[in-house]
Structure 1
Amino acid sequence: MLQIDLWKRVLIWALVLCGLALAMPNLFYSRVETHNDAVKAIAASGGVASPDQTAEAAEWPSFLPSGLVNLGLDLRGGAHLLAEVQVSDVYADRMDGLWPEVRDTLRAERATIGTIRRVDSAPDELRVQVGEPAQIAQAVALVRDLARPIVSLTGVGASDIDVSAEGADVVVRLSEAEKQATDTRTMQQSLEIIRRRVDEVGTREPTIQRQGEDRVLIQVPGIGSADELKELIGTTARLTFQPVVGRTTDGSADPGARNLLLPSLDNPGEYYIIEDRTVVSGEELTDAQPAFDQNGRPAVNFRFNPAGARKFGTYTAENIGSPFAIVLDSEVISAPVIQSHIAGGSGIITGNFDVEESTQLAVLLRAGALPAKMTFLEERTIGPELGADSIAAGKIACIVAFSAVLIFMALSYGFFGMVANLALIINVGLIFGLLSLIGATLTLPGIAGIVLTIGMAVDANVLVYERIREELKTSKGPARAIELGYERALSAILDANVTTFIIATILFIMGSGPVRGFAVTLALGILTSVFTSIYLTRLFIVMWFERRRPKTIEV
């Protein structure tokens, strides 16, 4: 009997209405986007809203869905960068960090191997000259004992350093296995830090991926220019807290042994002499948030982890009344005088910066320091005009394909074709509803996936209608023919769509960037097509059949 249970009808209509409600904000894209940005800004400021933000937030009712389909770089415009990570910088840092440990180890045997001295060498090696060349083998053995096993899948059983003797010099280099592991860690850390910095400033769906051995591709839709993106990503944000020795206005003054001469960010022309030792570093920072100081000036609140808080507390307790330099990228941004013991591991950075600069500084500090310098090999700014042209071209393609399919179905199947056309329109709305729900990014290949879905959705209806025609030829009644048509076409529809869905899944897993965008729209389109072709059109036909009770039908 041709019928659908009441609970199934309610469920089908509920899914359709829910999907269309989720897709609706995309019809008012600019208004909803303005509303979302205002709501996000108000939330970031702790619920305090300016009159402009209140007005912008009121542009879209808060009780309605506000999710949007994010537009990709080719549709919205934005910035494209290809950067090369200087992984060799990390080798030099590793050698510099290893030197104190090597020095202390060899000093303990000074009576045997004589005096030791670090001599000039390549950046990726550490060369130590011993006073007794005859004891070079002992010195090599002592340094070799400092080697540690490599923690990586490819370097199991290998050591992190190679130690050899060249004349009276002990030469320490990173092993090849350690270099590979270091390269992998450096690239992963760079990708993660770039992703944090880009995501923190409110951009949408950036593409950040590794290319080759030492390159990173960065594409950020909606950002103003490549220079703006470079300024954010290229900032190293190395934060240190160091003791202050004195001040001077002479930029060429000799700071003395183990001291540094660094410029003041607050007062141009003024320089600080600080000790070349770090009390607490930015790596021990757990949080940084923009704030205001007691005078209402923009500042940054920060908090250390337990280890950093302990060191910070001990130093402030022992140096009350002394200035303390906060150094960011070799510039003293603030040098407050320690007024009391700071035991909580938190404090505030004040300086001559505005609200935007304090917010950006907080973002950079939270994201951490890039492990190595980045060189930008390629940069491109894609203007919104190009994106508008792409959207227009995509609209034309969709309209042409849509119109052709609608006309074909109406001419081929009459009333049943019109039912399929109505389901097809709802199908496209459901696709956009799902894209908005999951926050997916729509690109030009994604539009191609939607166009392909339109054809696939009609294909399922064609299978059903042709099957109904065959059942009518066997002298079955209209109700029975419709019921058997849907039942017997189901296996063919599922086979075709399941295989295509598997392909879409493989494309999503193995692909990246635009390929993934195509895979997402294709996979979602398959789900909505099966739903509308099997359940929604059947519900329409059943409702029509119950109302009209035709003795014969013509498909």
Structure 2
Amino acid sequence: MKERKRNIVFFILLVVAIIVLVSTTTGYIWKNITLGLDLQGGFEVLYEAAPGQKVNTQMLKDTAAALNTRINVLGVSEPDITVEPPNRIRVQLAGVKDKNKAREMLGKQAKLTFRDASGKVLLTGSDLKENGAKVDYDQIGQPVVTLQLKNPDKFTNITRQYLGQPIPIYLDEQQLSAPVVQQVITGGTAQITGQKNVEEAQQLADLLNAGAIPLKLNEVQSFTVDASLGDDSLRDSLVAGAYAVIGIFIFMIGFYRLPGLVSVITLICYSYLLLVTFMVMGATLTLPGIAAFILGIGMAVDANIIMNERIREELRIGKSIKAAVRLGSKRSFLTIFDANITTIIAGVVLFIFGTAALKGFSVTLIAGIIVSFLTAIALSRMMMNLIIRSNLVKNPALFRVREDEISDL
């Protein structure tokens, strides 16, 4: 008797703990999930390598890495940069506020050169130390960009050779300044003057530290997604998802009764754990991702339906409720496992060969399948066993099995 009471008390405490945890922490988790371009607005641009360059997949990847470094300068979290062979790169920046600044930052080649009066290149950006550019101030408090060079002797020889002459400094083909060498400079430190304010100087330093883009890129197309459009899309998606979930819950309880109620609890737990997974992974949630999320709920329901139907089959052939739950859960395992594995394989193929939107869909789908498998198999079984061991469930009607359906064999 004590064990039976303990089982039902533990079941009630488990349900209450799930409800309290979900209701009190879901808001925090949702706020910490990164939303994609189509949900929070942002900027997307498609680049194509300029004609006349030798382009291969590795160069595209190197260029994408350089673009990613620049995006970090913009302070954008979770940028989506997709290489599209043979010669294109797609950049999606969710939540970026200044689209013009983003376009300018991404499009600049940032090829730094020190030249003599005739245009001969004396030094390039490759002569800079890694992260060797920083903002400093001159004697009158004006911001300047200080550069640290890899080879101090090389710079010393150049300043000795051009003593009293200007050495213009160019970013791409734009002359930034033309300082006159007043003395031989040792120590490998140079300065770029002429910045209007600290923000401009910092942007230049960040560009120089990010380095030049390996390929020259032409902008093929670009567009912005307004934040209000993102809000509308998110609201409509969540409302549609809520209707779908409520419909599933009503069906499960109405059709399967007690197992249906357990399924609803596990589905709530599934949804919560999937959101936690997104937050921990730092995954970006997009509209296709929400579609995959809702589809995952359907697949989680499918696993519960398979298990519930197997339990009903066992009850119809005369098994006790306890035996029917045990055998039905056991015999449904391989069917659920096979269905999940085949869908995961399809999701992996989508991730490998799909575009950015399909990748987001596939990641959400795969994560949802794994979480649904754990909740359907582990949590659902545990809750059903707690109820059965409490010996409170004695009527097969709670499993939607009528007395006249039960075989006498």
Q: So what's the TM-score if we normalise by structure 1? A: 0.62
Matching of residues 520-535 of structure 1 within 5 Å: 520-535=363-378
Q: Does structure 1 residue 218 correspond to structure 2 residue 91? A: yes
Task: Structure 2: state its 5+ residue gaps.
Answer: 8-15, 400-409
Q: Which residue among 56, 76, 84 is the counterpart of 1:203?
A: 76
Q: Deviations over 1:207-246 (max 9, x none)?
A: 3334464443332221235433321122221212234xxx
Matching of residues 328-477 of structure 1 within 5 Å: 328-329=171-172, 330-333=174-177, 335=179, 337=181, 339=183, 341-343=185-187, 345-371=188-214, 373-477=216-320
Closer, same or farther: CA 520–187 of 1 in aligned 2, 3 Å: closer
Q: Contact between 2:160 and 2:183, CA under 8 Å: does it hold in 1?
A: no
Deviation at 1:413, TM superposition (A): 1.7
Q: Does structure 1 residue 85 correspond to structure 2 residue 88? A: no
Aligned to 1:279, what secondary structure does the other structure show? strand
Q: Which residue among 289, 300, 303 is the counterpart of 2:145?
A: 300
Deviation at 1:18, TM superposition (A): 10
Q: Distance in 2 between matches of 1:406 and 1:287?
A: 56
Q: Which amino acid aligns with 1:195?
A: N
Residue 10 of structure 2: aligned partner = none
Deviation at 1:423, TM superposition (A): 1.1
Deviation at 1:326, TM superposition (A): 3.0
Residue 37 of structure 2: aligned partner = 73
Deviation at 1:339, TM superposition (A): 5.0
Task: Structure 1: state its 5+ residue gaps.
Answer: 5-12, 30-67, 91-180, 244-273
Matching of residues 7-406 of structure 1 within 5 Å: 25-27=28-30, 29=31, 68-88=32-52, 90=53, 181-182=54-55, 187-211=60-84, 213-224=86-97, 226-243=99-116, 274-285=117-128, 286-293=130-137, 296-305=141-150, 308-316=151-159, 324-329=167-172, 330-333=174-177, 335=179, 337=181, 339=183, 341-343=185-187, 345-371=188-214, 373-406=216-249
Q: Deviations over 1:291-315 (max 9, x none)?
A: 332655434343334xx44422443
Q: Distance in 2 between matches of 1:509 and 1:21?
A: 37
Q: Distance in 2 between matches of 1:403 and 1:19?
A: 16
Deviation at 1:280, TM superposition (A): 1.8
Q: Contact between 1:317 and 1:342, CA under 8 Å: does it hold in 2?
A: no
Quick check: which one's helix share is greater?
Answer: 2
Q: Contact between 2:55 and 2:87, CA under 8 Å: does it hold in 1?
A: no
Closer, same or farther: CA 17–353 of 1 in aligned 2, 3 Å: farther
Q: Contact between 1:471 and 1:481, CA under 8 Å: does it hold in 2?
A: yes
Q: Deviations over 1:437-472 (max 9, x none)?
A: 111111111111011111100111111111122222
Q: Contact between 1:79 and 1:219, CA under 8 Å: does it hold in 2?
A: yes
Q: Contact between 2:39 and 2:231, CA under 8 Å: does it hold in 1?
A: yes
Deviation at 1:358, TM superposition (A): 2.2
Q: Distance in 1 between matches of 2:230 and 2:164?
A: 58
Deviation at 1:490, TM superposition (A): 0.6
Closer, same or farther: CA 363–385 of 1 in aligned 2, 3 Å: same
Percent identity (aligned): 33
Work out which structure has the larger RCO, using CA pairs closer than 8 Å and 6 or more positions apart in sequence: 2
Aligned to 2:121, what secondary structure does the other structure show? coil
Q: Which amino acid aligns with 1:73?
A: L
Q: Deviations over 1:43-72 (max 9, x none)?
A: xxxxxxxxxxxxxxxxxxxxxxxxx32222
Q: Distance in 2 between matches of 1:543 and 1:458?
A: 21
Q: Contact between 1:334 and 1:351, CA under 8 Å: does it hold in 2?
A: no
Q: Distance in 1 between matches of 2:200 and 2:289?
A: 37
Q: Distance in 1 between matches of 2:147 and 2:26?
A: 41
Closer, same or farther: CA 366–339 of 1 in aligned 2, 3 Å: same
The more displaced of 431-440 and 294-303 is: 294-303
Deviation at 1:390, TM superposition (A): 1.0
Deviation at 1:323, TM superposition (A): 5.4
